[in-house]
A and B are shown apart, each in its own frame.
Chain A
Amino acid sequence: MPEVLLDVRNLQICYETSRGCVRAVDGVSLEVYRGETFCLVGETGCGKSTLALAIPRLLPPNARLLNGEIIFKGKNLLTASEIELQKIRGREIAMIFQNPMTSLNPVHRVGFQVAEVPATHFRISWREALVTAVKQLGRVGIPDPDLRSRDYPHTFSGGMKQRSMIAMMTICKPSLLIADEPTTALDVTIQAQILKLLHELKIEYGLTLLLITHNFGIVAEVCDRVGVMYAGKIVEVADVREIFESPQHPYTKGLIECVVARRKSKSRLNQIPGAPPSLLSPPSGCRFHPRCTYVTHKCLSEEPRLVGVREGHLVACHNHERVR
């Protein structure tokens, strides 16, 4: 039985706006096992980033925690004190963000920003921290790390900035690394390099990787297990092979068909008709029902629960047996 590193239980988060509290994450439960790469997939606005940010408690000030627990190494992160969180962030749970262009402080040198992490968490001198930082910058593929560590972020390319972020967030060898769409803002060629780097570091440091993405292509390449989110809810969880070979949820099936169609360069791209629902007033019953080709009466009134279909395969759909 694999060890559970991160246990999210019934998480409910909403954002306060002038029109009410928008339920971005509405009752999400999820387990991440130690040593795996877990991909959280979904369209923009489905709540995956919110879920990711909630773990190290980096949500914006207008976010409200309504319910739930996030258990990490026996501790509920949502009730932890600020001091405890500061010890965990960067040291045991690290996070890299989507936009490397704005995620580095423009007025401090790159080496400084990387060195801050071990300097904060370990009892070492600043000089030692800088040496470690330079070494780590080299490890992530920055050429001439000693020279470059003294440069400012604006002299770095997008790919190099993201590498620096990765250096910053892996230098303490955290247990869990959360990557929120780490390649979305980068060129396709760089994407592959970054993913490869993350994979290497994962093996070398024994990391657990929680990867957030909307790109099923990436899922196919790097993930061990996949969780699909839609409109603030988890609709399917399975091993990556399972999910490609026999998706049980209509939404997952639709997403996969888009990828497959593109790969086979079919003349027409399969689309999932319609658009994601408003999280302020979501549809009744199953949230996907307005766009679903397998919809039945039950789907309009009763919200499907996440049930086990096979070993390690969960799905939330009334008609999952019919999904082929």
Chain B
Amino acid sequence: MGLLTYVVKKLLIGVPVIFGVTIILFYIMYMLPGDPIKLLLAGERVTPAKIEELRRAWGLDQPVYIQYFYWLSHVIRGDLGVSIVTKESVTLLISQRLPYTLILMLTSTLLSYAIGVLAGLITALKRGTLIDGVVSVAGVVSYSIPGFWFGLMLMLAFGYYSKLLPISGYEGPQSLVLPAISLALPSSAYVMRLTRAEMVEVLNEDYIRTAWAKGLNKKRVLFVHALRNAMIPVVVMFFLDIPWLIGGAVVIETLFALPGMGRLLYVSIIRQDYAVVQGIVLIITVLTVVFNTLGDIVVAVLDPRVRIERGGSL
């Protein structure tokens, strides 16, 4: 099948997946402890009849699947509900914070891959030498370091010993530097290993020998033939890694007091503001599916063998 058919197919699969996850998501939220009504009233003394009335008004007396459709119909219209705590629109809250998180995620992923791919290529080409050994060990240490501790240490270094970069709040793009580094470092080591492994494997392939046999120069063999193949899994991982970093973003944003979606999630969980939590998790789900689908599409663009439909797992 052609590239276009493949892409359309992947996009179409994405939609039911999102729906499926929203159902699971909604059910999880439904199971969360804490009675929203009680929170709403925040200690006011009300008669049980009034509580029942409120419950009916919010639709909380209906069975689960009706509540789901209720919720879904709102979501499609862009209404993610209202924060039980601040009474603001959830959509508004999230849209104010999402850009910060997205920028953080993108920059840290880019940084992570820039470092990782470079290190990986160097170690692949200089296999077995001292450089390889040193960089590899540095890599292993990197992904043993907890990102949040690294962030704390960076805070210490820059907040105390040298006031070069801001460590709290958002004052402009420079506020994202330390958080991005904290997120990027541990994952860059994984990227390095992947790049190295792929490159080494590709360099041992027969078609590289063919390339040499044709009389091509070193630069051409490495870039046009070797890298072009080795980088495929790496580029795909790039897209898949972006949503993965959201998890780390929750911790890092909280630590560095950034006004992002991750921190909002954390705060909302603690305040039991489940409407917000629900909204955020929905957005994260959508982002995950979008980036995964992008990754699938990118594979097909880069690797012509994938475009033929094959059976097996997704």
Q: Which residues of A contact B (CB under 8 A)?
A: 56, 58, 82, 85-91, 94-95, 97, 99, 102-108, 116-117, 120-121, 152, 154, 165, 168-169
Contact = CB atoms under 8 A, between A and B. Distances in A.
A90 B209 CA distance: 12
A91 B215 contact: yes
B228 A165 contact: no
Contacts of B206: 97, 99, 102-103
A103 B210 contact: yes
Given A105-B229, A107-B228, A107-B229, A169 B213 contact: yes
A90 B207 contact: no
Determine which residue in B205, B213, B216 has the highest number of CB atoms from chain A within 10 A of its CB, and name it. B213
Contacts, number: 76
Given A103-B210, A106-B229, A107-B303, 13 more contacts: A89-B212, A90-B215, A97-B210, A97-B213, A102-B206, A102-B207, A106-B207, A106-B305, A107-B228, A107-B302, A121-B215, A152-B305, A154-B304
Contact of A94 (B211, B213, B216): B213
Interface in B198-235: 205-207, 209-218, 220, 224-225, 228-229, 232
B51 to A, nearest CB: 65
Nearest to A59: B209
Determine which residue in B215, B216, B217 has the highest number of CB atoms from chain A within 10 A of its CB, and name it. B215
Nearest to B229: A107
A116 B229 contact: no
A103 B214 contact: no
B209 to A, nearest CB: 6
Interface string B159-190: 00000000000000000000000000000000
Contact of A108 (B212, B214, B228): B228
8 contacts: A58-B209, A87-B215, A102-B207, A105-B228, A107-B232, A116-B216, A117-B214, A165-B210
Contacts of B218: 82
A214 to B, nearest CB: 19
Contacts of B224: 108
Interface residues of B, number: 24
A85 B217 CA distance: 10
Given A89-B215, A120-B216, A169-B213, A103 B304 contact: no
B309 to A, nearest CB: 13
Contacts of B229: 105-107
A102 B220 CA distance: 19
A168 B210 CA distance: 10
A104 B228 CA distance: 13
B213 A95 contact: yes
A120 B305 contact: no
Given A105-B225, A107-B229, A108-B228, A120 B210 contact: no
A129 B3 CA distance: 27
A168 B215 CA distance: 11
Interface string B261-305: 000000000000000000000000000000000000000001111
A97 B209 contact: yes
Given A103-B207, A107-B229, A89 B214 contact: yes
Given A97-B206, A165-B210, A106 B303 contact: yes
Contacts of B212: 58, 89
Contacts of A91: 215
A107 B306 CA distance: 10
A87 B216 CA distance: 9
Contacts of B217: 86, 120
Contacts of A85: 215
Contact of B215 (A108, A117, A152): A117
A199 to B, nearest CB: 21
Contacts of A154: 304-305, 308
Nearest to A151: B304
